[in-house]
Amino acid sequence: MSGEDDLHQRLDAVKELLGLFRFERFTYLGVNILALVMLIGSGAVLLFRPQDNDMSLYAVATALFGSSGLITLSISRLLHMWDQAFQMLQQQLGPPPEKP
């Protein structure tokens, strides 16, 4: 039963870490949604109305590169958060038990 207790202890620790980082996860999710809308919108402007729009090519290119950079930044911060969470979990509980 110690293996099952260990599993429940690890699951409880993961649930606690998810609760601690809830605000940060939703912030990054919101940033990613905003950046995705910007990326799709600027791509649509380039595809469907390349000369008919009032926006310059510079503004559309800035929206494309800015939104893709924002997505990259928020994903890297999210992965860094998960890395820290799993390092804390491993320090707290120790390495996983070896399989027989």
Which tens digits make up the pLDDT trace of 44-79?
877 777 665 566 777 777 777 888 888 888 888 888
pLDDT at 81 over 60: yes
- Using alpha carbons only, how large is the chain's radius of gyration in Å? 21
Which residue is listed with tokens 């990613």? 32
| Dist CA 72 CA 63 (whole Å) | 14
* Cβ atoms within 10 Å of 35's Cβ, excluding its own: 21
Residue 85 CB burial class (10 angstroms; 0-12, 13-18, ≥19): middle
For the chain, the structural domain boundaries read 2-93
Q: What is the pLDDT of residue 100?
A: 64
Proportion of the chain in helix, strand, coil states, percent, rounded to 5:
85, 0, 15
Backbone phi and psi for residue 85, each to the nearest 5 degrees, phi listed first: -65, -45
Which tens digits make up the pLDDT trace of 14-39?
788 778 878 888 888 888 888 888 88
- Mean pLDDT computed over every residue of the chain: 77
